[in-house]
Amino acid sequence: MKPGTRYGIAAAALMLVVIVAVGVSLFLAGRALEASNRHWCVTLDLITSTPVPKPADPQRNKLAEQQWQFYAAMLDLKRQFGC
């Protein structure tokens, strides 16, 4: 076998190993992302389990307004995660 042929086979084998490694890495990263999203959904479900009503007069009750804004933001985040 010629030396050039050996190098070609080695280069092709190396490229195959790199391609397989990248594929496995992307697959595992996708699974980890899905697991993380599930954990966030559980957390967001817990946070938003008790509805917070919008205050009738936000100027008079600033704490209720802040609680409602937090609740609305968590609902929006929950929607973005697809929960």
Q: How far apart are CA 6 and CA 48, in angstroms?
A: 63
Spatial CB neighbours of 17, under 8 Å, sequence gap ≥ 6 = none
Pairwise pLDDT comparison (4 vs 58), residue with the higher score: 58
**Per-residue pLDDT at 40 exceeds 70:** yes
Q: What is the dihedral of CA 50, 53, 55, 58, to 10 degrees?
A: 60
The whole-model pTM stands at: 0.64
Whether the CB-CB separation of 51 and 75 falls below 8 Å is answered with no
Predicted confidence band of residue 57 (pLDDT cuts 50, 70, 90): confident
Which residue in 1, 4, 2 sits closest to 12, CA to CA? 4
| Lowest pLDDT segment from 18-22, 58-62, 69-73, 79-83 | 58-62
Q: How far apart are CA 69 and CA 48, in angstroms?
A: 12
Q: What is the pLDDT of residue 58?
A: 78
Q: What is the pLDDT of residue 83?
A: 87
